[in-house]
Amino acid sequence: MRSIDANGAQIPCLGVGTWTLSGPACTELVAHALSLGYRHVDTAVLYRNEAEVGAGIAASGLPRDDLFVTTKVWHTDLQRDAFRRSTEASLARLGLDRVDLLLIHWPNPAVPLAETIEALNAAREAGLTRHIGVSNFPTGLLAEARALSPAPLVANQVEHHPMLDQSRVLAACRAAGMAMISYCPLFRGSLFEEPAIANAARAHGKTPGQIVLRWHVQQPGVAAIPRTSRKERLAENLAIFDFTLDAAEMDAISALQSANRRLCDFAFSPQWDIP
């Protein structure tokens, strides 16, 4: 699988999202994904499944250095000491001595960003993570975080799909040598019925979901972490590297972003970029 070179990190362009997965089903799904060829696994403290994800990783039997594991610190634990405790607890649950990427899950204006970035760097310096980054950071906050961080930030994980214009964030990530990692990459609802996607699916003999994931990974610097609870969907999501969307197909799908429909917008969300 192709990886993105992001400020020294090699991030597989397609990963397994685990939001809402729990219990033995989560462990089995992670282990199965790794058996199929996935090497990028994404979790977070908020998901309350780090132990199950870790069990799936252990069950795979794969060498640790073959995997790229991400977890995230929740926005209520961004003070210096709380950040360290959260990270150490995540590693204990995962059964790992380090993760590959540690992210600030959401910014928190109640905690000075300088303190949080210092804590993020301290986790890296202590060997708790190989690389560091952020999540849900609009361009202004991303620029501030980069300026405060002695070590390079390698990724910004954000909601990204054909129904939301994230061009400003993507441009900022590219300019900084960072990856943009797409969560909710398949959107919901009627996306698959859009002619731009349905027509491409017919032309390539692929499912609409495969077309959308191909649209993600075909954009330079973009990775996607679709979540599924179905083992058969894992194989489908992975089968996107044997075809290419042409420029017209990419443009037609990208044109859908003018809808600007955001799925994840909460009371604690930052001020989003205006396209």
pLDDT value, residue 113: 98
Residues 6+ apart with CB under 8 A from 274: none
DSSP code of residue 13 = S
For 42, 134, 193, the CA distances from 28, given in Å and listed in that order, are 15, 28, 31
Give the tens place of pLDDT for each residue, 174-191.
Answer: 999 999 999 999 998 889
Find all residues with CB under 8 Å of 46, minimum gap 6, and list them: 72, 74, 105
- pLDDT exceeds 90 at position 1: no
By the 8 A CB rule, do 38 and 60 touch? no
* Mean pLDDT, the chain, integer: 98
Task: Say if pTM beats, i.e. exceeds, 0.75.
Answer: yes
Helices 208-217 and 195-204 meet at what angle, rounded to 10? 100
Per-residue model confidence (pLDDT) at position 189:
80
Residue 129: HSE in the Cβ half-sphere, 13 Å Cα cutoff: 30
Question: What pLDDT was estimated at residue 188?
Answer: 85
* CA 59 – CA 30 distance, rounded (Å): 9
Q: How many residues does the chain have?
A: 275
- Residues identified as active-site: 47
Closest CA to 116 of 139, 159, 145: 145
Q: Mean pLDDT across the stretch 83-89?
A: 98
Angstrom distance (rounded) from CA 126 to CA 117: 14
User: What confidence tens digit (pLDDT) does each residue in 102-152 have?
Assistant: 999 999 999 999 999 999 999 999 999 999 999 999 999 999 999 999 999
| 192-238 pLDDT tens trace | 999 999 999 999 999 999 999 999 999 999 999 999 999 999 999 99
Do 94 and 58 contact (CB within 8 A), yes or no? no
The answer for residues whose C-beta is within 8 angstroms of residue 163's C-beta and 6 or more apart is 187, 191, 256, 257, 259, 260, 261
Instruction: Give the pLDDT score at 198.
Output: 98
Sign of CA dihedral 50, 52, 53, 57: positive
